[in-house]
Amino acid sequence: MIAGGVGPSLGRYRRGLVPLLWGAGLMGLLAWLPRAEAWFRWLAPEAREVIYPRDDFTALLFNHLALVGVASGLAILLGVGAALVVTRPWGRDFLPLASQLAAMGQTFPPVAVLALAVPSLGFGALPTVVALVLYGLLPILRNGLAGIEGIDPAVREAARGMGMSPGQILWRLELPLAAPVMLAGIRTSVTVGIATAAIGSTIGAKTLGDPIIAGIVNGNSAYILQGALLIGVLALTLDSLFEALTPRRR
């Protein structure tokens, strides 16, 4: 961060600008797409419809965001919660298990999680959310553990020796110190979640994947591009939002 009078506030302002720009781009795309038939015609010259007709893009976007939002919220709750539990003195016994799970889960492709969810939970939004939670949990758990385990033991020792309570150590020491690493895990989880949620369209959830699936089924490349554009810009918007939120290391 730049030292001096206006430096820090200007830096902060600038960092907030990027997600704002991407967000505006996303809004613009939503407004422009329904009227952009001329621009997409060349991709599907034969098709009767060029712009995905079955649903409003805005509705799909909100549904998509709702799925990811609910799933990420749960994943953060469970992931951060689990990371905190297994690093408490009374939960330490489960630390090796949690680290192994977190490491193993990363090697599992999201589509496979989705495919496994259907037989047990059927079609629709529910299995999609479950799959998103399961997959999104792991980077959050892994980074949560790395963040807390990465704190210099001497700092915790000093905190105890000064007479801080376990609660004070958690809130004033462990969470703030682990926050940048934790936030990086949440960022990965949410960004991957945006992409993974699109696959939910294959099992009947309403998402921005709908135009893509419909495009593949009908051989309509224009639909595919429209879905892909929206998902891409959405992912970039959220990612830049996290970038702006991540505290700068001194």
Partner 1 sequence: MSETPRIALKGVTKRFGAEAAVDAITLNIAPGEFCVLVGTSGCGKSTTLRMINRLIEHSDGEIHIDGRPIREIDPQRLRRRIGYAIQSTGLFPHWTVARNIALVPGLLRWPRARIRERVEELMTLLGLAPAEFADKYPAQLSGGQAQRVGVARALAADPEILLMDEPFGALDPITRESLQEELRRLQGRIRKTIVFVTHDMDEALKLADRLVVMRAGRIVQQGSPDELLAAPADDFVTSLLGGRDRGLKRAALTPVARVMRPVDARLPVEPAVSPDEDLRLALSVMLWHRVETLAVVDKAGRVCGSLHLMDLLGETP
Positions in the binding site for partner 1 (CB under 8 A): 152, 154-165, 168, 172-173, 176-177, 250
Please, are residues 94 and 240 in contact by the beta-carbon 8 Å criterion? no
Helix (H, G, I), strand (E, B) or coil at 164: coil
The least distance separating partner 1 from the CB of residue 170, rounded to whole angstroms, comes to 13
The least distance separating partner 1 from the CB of residue 172, rounded to whole angstroms, comes to 8
The least distance separating partner 1 from the CB of residue 228, rounded to whole angstroms, comes to 41
The least distance separating partner 1 from the CB of residue 168, rounded to whole angstroms, comes to 7
Q: How many CB atoms lie within 10 A of CB 176?
A: 11
Identity of the residue, 20 or 158, whose beta carbon is nearer to partner 1 in the bound complex? 158
Identity of the residue, 35 or 250, whose beta carbon is nearer to partner 1 in the bound complex? 250
Identity of the residue, 47 or 183, whose beta carbon is nearer to partner 1 in the bound complex? 183
The least distance separating partner 1 from the CB of residue 157, rounded to whole angstroms, comes to 6
The least distance separating partner 1 from the CB of residue 154, rounded to whole angstroms, comes to 4
Identity of the residue, 157 or 243, whose beta carbon is nearer to partner 1 in the bound complex? 157
Identity of the residue, 90 or 217, whose beta carbon is nearer to partner 1 in the bound complex? 90
C-alpha 124/C-alpha 113 separation (Å) is 15
Identity of the residue, 6 or 154, whose beta carbon is nearer to partner 1 in the bound complex? 154
Quick one: which H or E segment has residue 113?
helix 110-121
Helix (H, G, I), strand (E, B) or coil at 161: helix
C-alpha 140/C-alpha 134 separation (Å) is 11
